[in-house]
Chains A and B, each alone.
Chain A
Amino acid sequence: MSGVPFRIALVGHSNVGKTSLVSALARDATLEVREEAGTTRGHYETVLSIDGTEVLSFIDTPGFETADAINRRLDELGGTGADALDGRASLEAFVADAATDEAFAPEKEALRGVLKADVLVYVVDVTRPPGGQQRQELRLLRRAGVPPMAVLNLLFEGDDREAWRELLRREQVFNIVPLDAMEFPATQEASFYDELAKLRPEYEDDVQQVRRLRSVRGAAAAEEAARRIAEGFVDLLAFRLVRSFDTRDDALAARAGANEEFKQRLRDRERLMFEAIAAAYGFPDTKVAGEVLDVAGSSGDFVADLFDPEALQRYGASMATSVAAGAITGSLLDSVGGMGIGTALGAVGGGLVGHFVGRRITVDVDAKGTLSIPSLSPVRYPPVLVNRAGTVWRLFATRSHARRDDVALAPGDLAVGAGALTKLRRLASKCGKNPRWSTMDPEPERGAARARVVDDVAEIVRRSLRLEEDP
């Protein structure tokens, strides 16, 4: 590590996804990205530091749009004969020439970034074939005398990557890697860093440091996510709603409202948990669609109502077990009667039993006018909550920071092992007996016993969902 960061300028035509790539590489989801030319106005550096030392810097630049005109201008500036400027000198002269500031403002900003860089990464949008301006851009960049590589962005089946490879080779760019900013698979990112190190071997240590940093930060984010899930788990399963009224009649009248309030507070707490997971992975502004509870409907993509029986069933809650048990019983009847209807009846019956027996959201009103809603069922809800949170975790852990759309929470297939589930249910039961462990309680209690439960839940979550591994 030399103390001077390894500077990588991302350059290319306007609107090819340079900022998206910087977002993905730097794990920064806050950079402005739009489907519009000229979104990036200046050249911006995003520096990665390790222990306070700047190791690597990504220079995001405005896109080129009129490279042909600049090349013509540079040819004029360069002159001929003994006084002729070399490529880099002519670029510097062009950047310094105030007369052309207005006409070429974005390009000049880009070239300032180019002149600072140790490596140029020419970003290619393979959704369309290369054109004349792109050839001009490569010609222009060659003048800087900075080693170039190319990144093929926005890959899809039927894209123009082969035409691009041909052009790039013809223009003497031989280090070419596919790196899709939106999908951003780890293997492509690794290849990208390999190529960088090949181009500038003197920075290989820095590149390796960054790769290690990625791994360390990934583990830290996973640990943070596990703790946030555990905190949410305890809060949600310990929460009990109690309201006192002057008369029993008042309490009875408030039942429906209290039920709704109870549900809403749980939903709000769950949303906070999702936001915390998102923040742990560097997505502070990303919304989780489907987290908005009461989005009901069996055919929609966002069926995520915590209290929707179908959602519960899909998340592997106890009702599914009941359905299966009922169906098995029914099939025994079928084997005797050969009717086929026994299985169906059994499944329906089992499902109903599971639905009603497992249901614990009841509103009790005592003779003194105290209304209470007990905490969630420790049998039904632990797998529901962990699966939902685990699904959200996986979505964020694998998400490119270039993406700006909402995360869609769809029923996941994450399965918690039987052993882990038993432990979670036991811990949930403890939470239910200690309503003040919930931070939603008016007088929350954050003692050592609660901390131990949080630790235990975090450990189970970490292991059962394998959060410590880079997905």
Chain B
Amino acid sequence: MVEFARAWQEERGAALVDPEVAAGVRDGDLPDDDDDRLVAYARELLDRRLPDGADGRRAVEGLRAAFFAFGLLLPILGLLAGAATLRATLPPVDVRPVNILQFVGAGIVAPTAFLIFTTAVWALGARAAAASHWVVWALSLARSTALGTSAGRLTGRVLRRSGVTAPLLAGWSHRFWCGAFVGFLGLAAWRFATVDHLFAWSSTLPDFHVWIERLGALLGAVSPGQSAPSAQQVAASEYASLEAAWVHSTGYPATDEMLRKGWWRLLVVSTAMVGWLPRIVAFMVAEVRVSHGIARGLDTPWSRAALAALQPVLATARVGDAGVLPRRAREGLEAPVDEAHARGLAVVPFATEAPSDALLSDAGLDRLGLSDLVLPVPEDDDREAMAAVTARVGDAERAPGGVVVVFDFAATPDRVREQFLKDVARALPERRPVHVLLGGVDRFRRSPRGRRLDERRESWLAMAERAGVPEARVYVGG
């Protein structure tokens, strides 16, 4: 990580670590653990730079692009590679027959060897230190700044600590190979069905035909609907026999059909069964492991801490563009509040109904760690309720980990609301965040004011900013 930071600094000609931010971290309680220090740095960075929400958006867009590109690119590359491999095993028609051993080697032996190797490596628990780096580079492609880079580094670490790095990379590997088999088998089926390729084997070893017969029996056993080649077929497929037949131009009309169709269906089906099918199974297993691993990984204290620091970055993207991340990226990136805020967020509906679980979930707030504490202000002239809420969230003993103040989007972001928000922010113990959730947007959109929704949203954001709540912590939904 240190090396990466240095490389980044050299490449960009700018310091990755902002001295002012670093000083802020040092002024506080410096954690012992490297990773925790990184989290502390990121949080400090976010606190200082939150007004620039564009960084966060770029970071999230970079992640999304990286996930999407990898998911799409790998099978395409695999498909091209598979097709190219098949072409390499096919000699020109009427010049030479197809080498059965080459076909089996390229279609079954090599991929299976890779599969065994990959499975063994991941099964032995090997860790890929580079796991976080691809995220970082994706972010650098997205022209992210230090904020986005911190987000990327933290994301990479979360993935690794969640134990999903191995299955994630294995999944990508399987994705590639699945594409390769489609290319290999698809082209093979098409070529063999339309072109009269003959199949042959050749060896200088004595009695090699016995091994070919055994191989044929094995392939026949794993290929539904296909029978193993007969001894006569194996003998007729020896290259020397074929060559002699061609040289003397006697031909083998009786065995031509056997030499072609007897082999190609068996080879294609057995390749699919022995090479392709295990890949598909392995791919599905990896996917399941990734999703389970992320769910489990997000439950760790470190992940909660890291992702709480990242949360504003994600929220920034969410304000304008809900659902920008693919599901898996979201699972990996949105997370509960950190340990310091372990009590979770209190919800304060201000002159509006308490938000539904769906609204909180859509806004991503449920992943920040909501407590059961709901402190409603029933009416916007209920100063006693407002004072009570402020006192409760400011109570050093019982203060929540943060507050989500819920407003009706259609309400005017007026001075009463602004003052209340300021009071809550001021009352909360240091660093505990205030979030603003604006509900009722769909209804607003349907109303005559709907055509000026953006203007109203800006008005809310401006009010929140005046109250000290950055844009990144304002959620619009419902």
Residues of A at the B interface (CB closer than 8 Å) are 13-16, 34-37, 63, 65-69, 125, 127-128, 131-133, 135-136, 154-156, 158-159, 180, 182-183, 405
Contact = CB atoms under 8 A, between A and B. Distances in A.
Interface string B440-456: 10011011110110011
A37 B408 contact: no
Contact of A180 (B351, B412, B448, B463): B448
Contact of B456 (A35, A133, A155, A183): A35
A405 B451 contact: yes
A154 B414 contact: no
Contact of A66 (B351, B416, B449, B455): B416
A159 B440 CA distance: 13
Contacts of A133: 379-381, 414, 416
Contact of A34 (B413, B443, B455): B455
Nearest to A183: B448
Contacts of B451: 405
B143 interface: no
A65 B416 CA distance: 7
B380 A154 contact: no
B378 to A, nearest CB: 8
A124 to B, nearest CB: 13
Contacts of B463: 37
A65 B459 contact: no
7 contacts: A14-B412, A128-B440, A131-B351, A132-B351, A135-B381, A136-B381, A159-B447
A404 to B, nearest CB: 9
A128 B380 CA distance: 13
B382 interface: yes
A37 B381 contact: no
Contacts of A405: 451
A123 B280 CA distance: 66
Contact of A37 (B378, B413, B448): B413
A405 B450 CA distance: 13
B410 interface: yes
B381 A127 contact: no
Nearest to B463: A37
B37 to A, nearest CB: 43
Q: Is the interface of A mostly helix, strand, loop or mixed?
A: loop
Contacts of A182: 448
A66 B449 CA distance: 23
A382 to B, nearest CB: 36
Nearest to A139: B381
A65 B447 contact: no
B123 to A, nearest CB: 56
Interface of B: 351, 378-383, 408, 410-416, 440, 443-444, 446-449, 451-452, 455-456, 458-459, 462-463
A37 B444 contact: no
B355 to A, nearest CB: 16
A66 B415 contact: yes
B447 A68 contact: no
Contacts of A156: 446-448
Nearest to B382: A132
A127 B416 contact: no
Contacts of B411: 128, 131
Nearest to B444: A127
B447 A127 contact: yes
B410 A37 contact: no
Contact of A154 (B381, B383, B408, B449): B449
B459 A37 contact: yes
A68 B459 contact: no
B459 A36 contact: yes
Given A68-B381, A132-B380, A136-B381, A13 B448 contact: no
A37 B414 contact: yes
B383 A68 contact: yes
Which are the 3 A-B pairs with shortest beta-carbon distances? A132-B379, A132-B381, A35-B455
Contacts of B452: 35
> Counting chain A CB atoms within 10 Å of each CB, which of B379, B451, B456, B463 scores highest?
B379
A76 to B, nearest CB: 15
B193 to A, nearest CB: 41
Contacts of B455: 34-36
A153 to B, nearest CB: 9
Contact of A131 (B380, B443, B456): B380
B414 A65 contact: yes
A304 to B, nearest CB: 21
A63 B412 contact: yes
B410 A127 contact: yes
Contacts of A14: 412, 414
Given A65-B415, A133-B380, A128 B408 contact: yes
A67 B456 contact: no
Contacts of A128: 408, 410-411, 440
Contacts of A159: 447
Nearest to A35: B455
A132 B381 CA distance: 5
